[in-house]
Structure 1
Amino acid sequence: MPEIWRDDSPGERRAAVVDQGKIVEIHIQRDAHWALGERGRGRIERKTPSGAYVVTDDGAEFLLRSKTADPEGKTVAFEVTREALAEPGRWKPPEIMLCDSLPPQRPDKDAVWDNRLSALGAHFLPRSISEGFDAAIAGQSQVGDVTVSFQRTKAGLVFDVDGIGDAFGINSVAATEIARLLRLYQVGAMVVIDFVSMEAKAQRTQIADIFDAASALDQRPFERTAVNGYGIMQLVRARPRPSVLDHLFGTNITALSKETQALWLLRDVARSSGFGPRTVTARPDVAQLLDSQKWAPWRTEATRAAGADMAVVADEKAAGYGHVHVAQS
């Protein structure tokens, strides 16, 4: 039976489905965002011909895609039906449906996360899953002589296939690897795959069948086209949550978002050892985020885990996503 490796840290929860020692799915939930299934209360800010925008007291905006008879300014209860989605250059607001009332107690982030993992039906082990992000950060996976490159766009995720040898052999490897990556990073919405072109229709059909077979263990349904004469295949599946790539890069294309950099630095603080205070060095925009009032609870959580105080230093020349220094005491 697959295991679940939990890798929680201040402001971010991670988990991986692990089968025979290999990470096959990665799931992420971040405290800065409303999660699928969370319930809340907000004010109808403005109505549209097909729905309305609802705003909470803390300024979060939600999209209601169904008409409502309630007037602007009325306070309503809602449930999140799709989380906020980051795409290159823009954020898409979370979507909601209206509820008759809120439950007596709103579930906290831990309860929402536990419910999500319980649905996976396996026991939990505390283990790091950082190795699972390598291909995502590189934007590339190498399988023998076959290279699968990928990049997010506003329209969806685009894969490019290249390699040494005959086209059918290259595409056979790539089809299996792309199915693995889509499951690993929980990618939804539109996906475009640019296989090496093949003239024979029978071979193109075989490649699509290989992809389908490799996708059999991914429980998320999808629809796809055939592989056309130019080697292009498109597929689409539901996208109720951000993919791992959306979480990592936010509105950037290939650079880690400032939210990701800040969360990874807090993770480093929480897991650092030693008795001296921690100094976190980060780029100015990341340092500003870390020092913000909104992030105070996660700073507190990180310093509590480290058992030491924490200071944030802004440095334009900070390498990577920054670093954490432990003073000698």
Structure 2
Amino acid sequence: MADWWVERGIGETRAILIGGDRILEARIEPDGGLTAGTVIDARLVRRIPARNQGIVEWADGQALVSPLPPGITQGAMCRIEITRPATPEPGKPKRARARPAAHDAVVGPAPTLADRLPGARVPPRFGPDPFEQAGWSEVLEEAETGLIRFAGGSLSIHPTPAMTLFDADGELAPLDLGMAAARAAGAAIRRLDIAGSIGIDLPTVEDKAARIAMAEALDQTVPPPFERTAVNGFGFVQIVRRRERLSLPELYALDPAAWAARALIRRAERSIGHGERLIAAHPDVVAAIAANPGWTDRLAARLGAPVTLQPDPALRISGGHVQPRHA
């Protein structure tokens, strides 16, 4: 039996579905981020009639609304519901997406991650850490590096503006590699919360029955609903999943320093020892923590000890560490 766990952390809320002592699904929701379900009053700043879409703006954001609210004119106010936050992309991020809000919708934030997972378990503040016991650090590393290892090979993840691409590599026979890679890709899609358009480049296998078997391996590991193509003669298959939030690799790509800062704050919160906590990290990570003074205040309150930040340019973005004064 699989159980959801939700942790309201400092700077983010995180959730995991644990089955068989490992993380099957993981989600991260940074504080202050725009989430699907948020209702906003915005101004229409540009009509795109040919596509029945428009661009709307509010105090600190912008979205592509589809379809256009009936009868609206450029410059008018309208009430919208966010369906997907802005996504990172080289050059400039893609705008958030929205739709006209229901006639009785009230302006306000979307339900929290905890609200959307009623009945989820809450990990204890002290003692054994169910997140780490199930492989939380390994999941974060997969999101950061884009490397998924499995017996006999590996997958590399490449987010692009068009889709998230998986590329399989290994030394197994083509069919064996294709089957193992398909299962690993399906599990990674679920574990890293990847949605939208997904392309998977599996080994080329000429036998049609073998390609069907690889496709069925995906069907058994990717949770529905989704759509997919057949595995073509070159080993390529495309999957489309409904996209409502950023995947873990996209959250990392959006702001690696902020991602590392939140992860380091969690490690400090779970650290064992007494007295002051020294957090040493790359200067960009320290700057991300310092830009949110409430983080260290809350951390110090939870630890019952002061927190000191120490920038170290010799450390990698994800190479920070926490040192208690008295271990």
The TM-score bracket by the shorter chain reads: 0.7 to 0.9
Map residues 202-281 of structure 1 onto 2, 5 A cutoff: 202-215=209-222, 218-219=223-224, 221-250=225-254, 257-281=256-280
The aligned residue for residue 96 of structure 1 is 98
Displacement of 1:54 in angstroms is 3.5
Contact 2:114–2:120, Cα closer than 8 Å, also in 1: no
1:67 matched to 2:68: yes
SS state at 1:92 partner: coil
TM-score normalized with structure 2 length: 0.82
SS state at 1:141 partner: strand
Letter in 2 for 1:82: R
SS state at 2:148 partner: strand
1:10 matched to 2:7: no
Displacement of 1:225 in angstroms is 1.8
Q: How far apart, in 1, do the equivalents of 2:33 and 2:181 lie? A: 34
Map residues 1-329 of structure 1 onto 2, 5 A cutoff: 1-42=1-42, 44=43, 46-49=45-48, 50-57=52-59, 59-68=60-69, 69-70=71-72, 74-99=76-101, 100=103, 103=106, 106=108, 111-118=111-118, 123-126=120-123, 127-128=130-131, 129-215=136-222, 218-219=223-224, 221-250=225-254, 257-292=256-291, 295-321=292-318, 322-327=320-325
Check 1:226–1:12 CA distance in 2 against 1; reply closer, same or farther (3 A cut): same
Contact 1:88–1:152, Cα closer than 8 Å, also in 2: no
- Structure 2: 5+ residue runs without aligned partners? 124-129
Check 1:259–1:234 CA distance in 2 against 1; reply closer, same or farther (3 A cut): same
SS state at 1:85 partner: coil
Displacement of 1:323 in angstroms is 3.0
Displacement of 1:12 in angstroms is 0.8
Q: How far apart, in 1, do the equivalents of 2:7 and 2:96 lie? A: 25
SS state at 1:91 partner: coil
TM-score normalized with structure 1 length: 0.82
Displacement of 1:266 in angstroms is 2.3
- Structure 1: 5+ residue runs without aligned partners? 252-256
- RMSD of the TM alignment (CA)? 2.8
* Cα offsets for 1:152-185 (capped at 9, x unmatched): 2222222222223321122111111111111111
Equivalenced residue count is 311
Worse-superposed segment, 67-76 or 170-179: 67-76
* Cα offsets for 1:196-224 (capped at 9, x unmatched): 11122222222222222333xx13x2222
